[in-house]
């Protein structure tokens, strides 16, 4: 009876679709942060007169955005794609 109560507290087992959705969500958040770094650090100072765009600030924001984008693409690389059945039939 205690085992039943414990099982009710645990989340259901993960399926591959759940993992895929989580990887996509994490990648989406990281891509949003990358665009924010580029937009707030480079584009906004060019459009508005909030402050000068120094070369150091531009380079820092560019590499921060590029690093976040690379991390997001790494998360997307972990998503397994099913094998195409039509391609398998022609090769086999």
Residue 8 domain-assigned (yes or no): no
Contact between residue 65 and residue 46 where contact means Cβ atoms under 8 Å apart:
no
User: For the whole model, what pTM was predicted?
Assistant: 0.70
For residue 81, report the phi and psi dihedrals to the nearest 5 degrees.
Answer: -105, 135
Tokens of 13: 């087992």
Residue 9 domain-assigned (yes or no): no
Lowest mean pLDDT across 36-40, 48-52, 59-63: 48-52
Residue 84 domain-assigned (yes or no): no
Residue 66 domain-assigned (yes or no): yes
Residue 89 domain-assigned (yes or no): no
Residue 1 domain-assigned (yes or no): no
Residue 76: name the closest of 34, 30, 15 by CA: 30
Query: What pLDDT does 2 receive?
Result: 66
Residue 87 domain-assigned (yes or no): no
**pLDDT tens-place string over residues 68-90:** 999 999 989 988 777 777 765 66
Q: Residue 48 is part of which domain span? A: 17-79
Please count the structural domains in the chain.
1
Q: Which residues contact 38 (CB under 8 A, 6 or more apart)?
A: 61, 62, 65
Residue 27 domain-assigned (yes or no): yes
């Amino acid at each position: 009876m205690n085992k039943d109560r414990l099982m009710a507290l645990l989340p259901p087992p993960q399926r591959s679709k759940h993992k895929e959705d989580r990887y996509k969500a994490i990648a989406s958040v990281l891509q949003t942060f990358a665009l924010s770094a580029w937009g707030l650090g480079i584009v906004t100072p060019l459009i508005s007169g909030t402050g000068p765009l120094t070369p150091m600030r531009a380079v820092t924001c560019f590499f921060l955005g590029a690093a976040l984008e690379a991390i997001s693409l790494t998360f997307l690389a972990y998503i397994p794609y099913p094998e195409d059945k039509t391609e398998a039939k022609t090769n086999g």
